[in-house]
């Protein structure tokens, strides 16, 4: 996703101030038992990230909207990319362990360092989109099903080690 231009930033600012838009975004997020991520249950992009319609024909990556809610829209102006330290493209939680400001280079470096770790969601054979859609669909039915899937993977592979 490229940086938002002035019109995009203005539209995002309006969407963040619109209680109906914010309520619609919140309705597409769920807490999964045992997970610190805030899981997206709406539309998913080809790379497995949430997609969110903010109005007037503009669709944004959902975690960009989450970032604008948490950190103010103006903070998006200089953001190249938002990285997922939790390696969950459906995650909407903005903090140091989840969605963070990054650069294309740093994000790619982190992805490359973690994609081959045993049990890493980045190396899932289903691919990012298929994995995200499957987990999103489980979260829509019952967030406990996602927790069950995460426990199964943890039992198989153990906990993923942090690199920093």
Please give the angle made by the CA atoms of 130, 1 and 107, to the nearest 5 degrees: 75
Return the structure tokens found at 62.
């959902």
Number of domains the chain contains: 1
In a domain, 57, yes or no: yes
What are the per-10-residue average pLDDT scores of the chain (164 residues)? 80 96 98 95 96 93 96 90 93 95 93 82 84 95 92 71 48
In a domain, 162, yes or no: no
pTM above 0.85, yes or no: yes
CA dihedral 122, 123, 124, 129 (to 10 degrees): 50
pLDDT at 163: 46
In a domain, 63, yes or no: yes
pLDDT at 117: 80
Answer whether 77's CB lies under 8 Å from 12's CB: no
- Tell me the CA distances in angstroms from 98 to 9, 19, 20, 53, 95, one per residue in order: 23, 25, 26, 22, 5
In a domain, 122, yes or no: yes
Mind giving me the DSSP string for 101-125? EE-HHHHHHHHHHHTTSTT-GGG-T
Contact residues for 119 (Cβ-Cβ < 8 A; gap 6+): 153, 154, 156, 157, 158, 160
pLDDT at 160: 54
pLDDT at 164: 45
In a domain, 1, yes or no: no
Mind giving me the DSSP string for 21-50? HHHHHHTTEEEPTT--SEEE-S-B-TTS-B
In a domain, 127, yes or no: yes
pLDDT at 158: 66
- For residue 85, the enclosing domain spans 6-157
In a domain, 50, yes or no: yes
In a domain, 164, yes or no: no
């Amino acid at each position: 996703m490229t940086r938002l231009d002035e019109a995009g930033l203005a539209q995002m600012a309006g969407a963040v101030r619109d209680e109906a838009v914010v309520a619609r975004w919140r309705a597409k997020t769920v807490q999964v038992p045992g997970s610190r991520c805030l899981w997206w249950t709406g539309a998913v992009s080809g790379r497995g990230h949430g997609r969110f319609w903010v109005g007037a024909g503009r669709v944004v990556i959902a975690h960009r909207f989450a970032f604008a809610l948490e950190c103010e829209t103006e903070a998006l102006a200089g953001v190249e990319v938002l990285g997922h330290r939790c390696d969950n493209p459906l995650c909407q939680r903005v903090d140091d362990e989840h969605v963070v400001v990054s650069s294309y280079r740093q994000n790619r470096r982190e992805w490359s360092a973690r994609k081959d770790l045993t049990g890493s969601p980045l190396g899932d054979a289903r691919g990012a989109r298929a994995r995200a859609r499957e987990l999103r669909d489980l979260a829509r039915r019952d967030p406990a099903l996602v927790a069950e899937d995460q426990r199964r993977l943890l039992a198989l592979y153990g906990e993923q080690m942090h690199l920093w």
